[in-house]
Chains A and B, each alone.
Chain A
Amino acid sequence: GAVVSQHPSWVICKSGTSVKIECRSLDFQATTMFWYRQFPKQSLMLMATSNEGSKATYEQGVEKDKFLINHASLTLSTLTVTSAHPEDSSFYICSAPNPDFSGNTIYFGEGSWLTVV
C-alpha cells in the first residue's frame, strides 16, 4: 500500500543553524503534502500545505521565511527550519492524500523529532 516516509526521525542541531526534514511518498505521486507540528502533549497543528511546482500555502501565524517548504517533485517535499532556536524544538509530521482520491484516506509519515540546543 501507499507509504509516506520521513527523514530524519531524530535530529539535534545547534541554535542558529538550519535543518532539513524530508517527506517522501514511496509508491505514489503526491501533488500536495501537508506539514504539521506537534508540541508535547498537544494536538497536531497544520503549518503549511506543500504544492508541487508552486509555492507552499502557510497557515496564519507560521513564518514563511523560517519554515521553508519546497515541493520540487511529485514524491518529495522538504521542510527547512532556518536559524533554528530552542523554541522550534518539536515533533514535525507530514502527510499526503490518497492519490486515487477516494476522498478519505490520508497517509502520514513517521514524524521527525527536532531538538535545538
Chain B
Amino acid sequence: AQTVTQSQPEMSVQEAETVTLSCTYDTSESDYYLFWYKQPPSRQMILVIRQEAYKQQNATENRFSVNFQKAAKSFSLKISDSQLGDAAMYFCAYRSAGGNEKLTFGTGTRLTIIP
C-alpha cells in the first residue's frame, strides 16, 4: 500500500516571501500521479498543482512549483511571493496510474502567512 508523509504539521512565512512544504511518499509502482491540494477554512478541496511521475520536468502553476525527485520519492511544494490568501491546510496526495482514481493523502501542513 502507498503511504504519504508530510513531516511539517505547521509552517509560517512572511508575506511576499517563499516557503517550501515537504512531502515524501512510499510506493512500489513506477507510474503514478502526485498532487498538492489546498483546503481553506471553508473545507473545499482546491487543486494547487499536479505532477505525472513519468514527466521529469517539474510542474509549475504561477507562484506554485514543485520539486519532484522520483528516486528519492520526494514531492515538495514551493510557494513564491506568499499572499495572505495562501493561508490554508495543504495536503499532498498520491494516486496510482491504474484504473482506481482514489487518492491517498498525507496528514497535511497548516500554512500561516504573517503580514
Partner of B91, one of A44, A46, A103, A110: A44
Partner of A46, one of B33, B35, B103, B108: B103
The majority secondary structure among interface residues of chain B is loop
Q: Mark B7-39, 1 if CB is under 8 A from A, else 0.
A: 000000000000000000000000001010000
- A: interface residue count bin: 20 to 34
26 chain-A/chain-B pairs, Cβ below 8 angstroms:
A34-B103, A42-B107, A42-B108, A43-B91, A43-B106, A43-B108, A44-B45, A44-B103, A44-B105, A45-B105, A46-B102, A49-B100, A91-B43, A95-B45, A95-B103, A103-B52, A104-B50, A104-B52, A105-B47, A106-B35, A106-B47, A108-B44, A108-B45, A110-B43, A110-B44, A111-B45
CA distance A104 to B50 in the complex (A): 7
Write the residues of chain A forming the contact surface with B, with a CB cutoff of 8 angstroms: 32, 34, 38, 42-46, 49, 91, 93, 95, 97, 103-106, 108, 110-111
Give the chain A neighbours of B103 by CB distance below 8 A: 34, 44, 46, 95, 106
Task: Answer whether residue B84 sits at the interface, using C-beta atoms and an 8 A cutoff.
Answer: no
CA distance A90 to B50 in the complex (A): 28
Give the chain B neighbours of A38 by CB distance below 8 A: 43
Give the chain B neighbours of A93 by CB distance below 8 A: 43, 45
| Further pairs besides A32-B101, A104-B35, A106-B101: 16, Cβ < 8 Å | A34-B101, A34-B103, A42-B108, A43-B108, A44-B91, A44-B105, A46-B104, A95-B103, A103-B52, A104-B33, A104-B50, A104-B52, A104-B95, A108-B45, A111-B44, A111-B45
